[in-house]
Structure 1
Amino acid sequence: MYDKKLAREDKHNDSYLLTEGLIDGKVVATHKVMPTRRPSKLILWADNENMDLEANGSDLVTVVAAVADDKGNIKRLNNYHIKFDIEGNGELVADNATFTNPRQVQWGTAPVLVRANTNAGEIKIKASVVFEGIHTPLSAELIIKTIDSKHRIIADKNELSLLLEGNKMINKSISEGKSNCEEEIKKLQQELSRLRLKEVEKQQSDFE
């Protein structure tokens, strides 16, 4: 209620929690937390612990998308779904079949794995909200630079390209197979409902 009172008085900056760490009565550390306001944008960062991403065809990095307000405070409680798109010298290790792209936000964030290919350069990742509306948070973009592999790549680059294309085709087949299975399940459920209805009709007829 105190926070609402300050908000109505347009004193948002006066609402916060401040923690102080003391040693011998002196403040040696502080941590300030502000309440999150209306979600207005997505923010992206690479959880790479300051390690460079190598263009060796197998190096991975986790990219995290978060829902935030105008000041960058993460909105922990929300039910958005985030869709990831990628351009450049890398690929997403995620797809619809494994429920990893789009991905539902959990405790304010949604992670995705990005794999570098064998060409050093830039990877552009874009995150956007799936279901858009009037107050949909703005999308975000992140550029990751990859460096040349520190070790000589033994595999033929053409073979690696074919392998990556093969992986994409497999993921597509899995996704299509899942759709076909869902369609078959739907048909079976409809047939089961029809049989149950006939059984009820028969019971009613016998009763009469």
Structure 2
Amino acid sequence: MIKNILSEFLGTLLLVCIVVGSGIMGENLSSGNDAILLLANSLATFWGLYFLITIFSVNSSHFNPAVSLVMHIRGEIKFLTFLFFVFAQSLGAMLGAILANVMFGFEYIEFSEKPRTGVNIWLSEIVATAGLLIVILASPKDKVAIMVASFIGAAYWFTSSTSFANPAVTFGRIFSDSFAGISPYDFPMFVLMQFVGCLAGLGIYKIIFPQQD
């Protein structure tokens, strides 16, 4: 149990550090070209996710309260474990953003002023999170890392929200006023839509793959 909680903490910390840090580096090097910036951010996230899921899968590799919730609903983890995971993921996400800020010479904590709101963006988070859960549940165990990394890397580009799909990561992004950030005022609706998406994904999975459930 302790190893699993530590894995969730470290994995989420490193994931947010990758997302925020690559966003800052992309801003520094892209000379205002948003396409190059998004490409750098999505590629770093793809590689980072694949690496993190692969190395931490021996213990636990949710790194995502929405995923942990679905695993609790499916009876794979107990409610207390779910609560510990969410706490570890959220703390790790915040510290991951702070670590990225420090590495790039920013203030340790700076609340993001980047607005992310609108029905289209909320819908994107539902789609991204639902898709993520379906990919996780439907993928063979030995393919989960590459399947999840590939889906999130693609979803950066086909969703208007750039596919946060993770309440803990969304929380962490509040603490960096960079390309990857999100305004604290827009955080609650993002998280609500992500939980709607995770439940929708679970429902779709049960319909499409009843033999695997």
Same fold (TM over 0.5): no
TM-score by length of 1: 0.27
Larger Rg: 1
Relative to total residues, which structure has the larger helix share, 1 or 2?
2
Relative to total residues, which structure has the larger strand share, 1 or 2?
1
TM-score by length of 2: 0.26
